[in-house]
Amino acid sequence: MTAALEVEGLDVRFGLRGRRGGPPRFVRAASEVDLTLHHGRLLALVGESGCGKSVLTEALTGLLPGNAETRGRAALRPEGLDLLTAPEPVLRDEVRGRRVGLVGQSAGTFLTPTRTIGTQLREAVRLLDGPEPAEVLAERAGLPAAALDMYPHELSGGTAQRAGLAAALAGDPAIVLADEPTAGLDRPLVDRTTDLLVDLARDGKAVLLITHDLRAVRRIAAEGPVDLAVMYASRIVESGPAAEVFARPWHPYTRGLLGALPDEGFVPVPGHPPELSDLPSGCPFRPRCGSTACTDDPALVHHGDRAVACHPAVPA
């Protein structure tokens, strides 16, 4: 497997306005995050709302707000350009759209309302020196040819999402970051969109899919080149080939998320995640975990192609 992007020890924290004279306060939105996107594979990043998933894509595209501070490294391969420290003109002119494509939630809302989809796609191709005409991009994104002559308000939610995906592919980026691309879509459209993302991975792209929808990930994991990373309270707590993690989840939080699926018992994970502005020391999952064998060391440790931040959880 060839790495397209290697993230090591990524910390993102946001400064909060504290009481005058009081200690500085921070939200820790990403803590010591290690993850690698590989050409030809899709990495699904899952976790409860507010655990830091979107902040990761913002950090990787230079789109964090002004009160953010980052540490660590996010090296674009092969040459190693660090996305965390690259100057904004480099990110704007060489990275966003050309090497890293971004598909957001409600991607269609990024389209200009007064111009047809075809006009906007052709312009994106021209500006990004894209190798494929708008018609081919539309086909790859599953967008019907007739949609090219339509205006954004004439598209259904699913078609608008595919138009956004086509636009993200205009510069033929090797990496595609999709942040909740299936939010608000019905089940057949969720399946269609996730299948398209798996197809992009099969074509050699490195795809990051951020989602709440574990059921959708389980479906594509059954046959696709799919890895899974589970995030909890700003940390990656488990990762590995998705089919293996679904078959044998190690971390109690991953087991809890799977147990909350409708056909797996529908039992929510008890309790609530901690405030990211007041993270406990040691394992952040401890208050919600039934284990009595804790070592209180939450570092993510690799075991072959899997990794887990819960040492008692690893089978002997």
Ligand X SMILES: Nc1ncnc2c1ncn2[C@@H]1O[C@H](COP(=O)(O)OP(=O)(O)OP(=O)(O)O)[C@@H](O)[C@H]1O
d(CA 299, CA 164): 37
Residue 181 sits at the vertex; the CA angle it makes with 178 and 186, to the nearest 5 degrees, is 155
Peptide bond into 113 cis (omega under 30): no
Cβ proximity to ligand X: between 51 and 230 the closer is 51
Report if residue 50 touches ligand X, rule: CB under 6 A: yes
- Which CB atom, from 47 or from 72, has the smaller least distance to ligand X? 47
Residue 173 found at the interface with ligand X (CB under 6 A): no
Which CB sits closer to ligand X, 104 or 152?
104
Per-residue contact track with ligand X, 62 to 81, x per CB under 6 A? ---x-x--------------
Q: Does 51 participate in binding ligand X (rule CB under 6 A)?
A: yes
Nearer to ligand X by C-beta: 36 or 211? 211
Q: How far apart are CA 221 and CA 172, in angstroms?
A: 25
DSSP 292: S
**Counting contacts by CB under 6 A, is residue 209 touching ligand X?**
no
Residue 219 and residue 224: Cα distance in Å, rounded? 9
How many residues touch ligand X (CB under 6 A)? 14
Q: What does the buried/exposed string (b/e) look like for 189-199 if buried means 16 or more CB atoms within 10 Å of the residue's CB? A: bbeebbebbbb
Question: Is residue 54 close enough to count as binding ligand X by CB under 6 A?
Answer: yes
Does 124 participate in binding ligand X (rule CB under 6 A)?
no
Judge contact between 104 and 160, C-beta under 8 A. Answer: no
Quick one: which of 35, 74, 102, 276 contacts ligand X (CB under 6 A)? 276
Q: Roughly what angle, to the nearest 10 degrees, separates helices 214-221 and 187-202?
A: 50
Q: Which of 113, 33, 118 is nearest to 70 (CA)?
A: 33
C-beta of 150 vs 279, nearer to ligand X: 279
Please enumerate in sequence order all residues whose Cβ is within 8 A of that of 114, keeping only pairs 6 or more positions apart, or say none.
151
Q: Does 13 bind ligand X (CB under 6 A)?
A: no
Give the range of 42-50, 113-121, 246-254, 281-289 binding ligand X by CB under 6 A. Answer: 42-50
27 binds ligand X (CB under 6 A): yes
Residue 311, SS3 per DSSP = helix
Other C-beta atoms lying within 10 Å of the C-beta of residue 301: 13
Q: Which stretch binds ligand X (CB under 6 A): 44-52, 108-116, 142-150, 282-290?
A: 44-52
Question: CB of 284: closest distance to ligand X in angstroms?
Answer: 13
Does the footprint of ligand X cover residue 14 (CB under 6 A)? yes
Partners of 238 in beta bridges: 230, 308
In angstroms, the Cα distances linking 277 to 17, 65, 112, 273, 289 are 12, 17, 37, 12, 21
- 281 counts as binding ligand X under rule CB under 6 A: no
Closest CB to ligand X among 65 and 78? 65
SS3 96: strand
Tell whether residue 49 is a contact of ligand X (CB under 6 A).
yes
Indicate the residue among 147 and 237 with the shorter CB distance to ligand X: 237
Which is closer to ligand X, CB of 72 or CB of 130? 72
By the rule CB under 6 A, 53 interacts with ligand X: yes
Is residue 24 a contact residue for ligand X (CB under 6 A)? no
Q: Residue 76: beta bridge partners? A: 5, 81
Q: Which residues bind ligand X (CB under 6 A)?
A: 14, 27, 29, 47, 49-55, 65, 67, 276
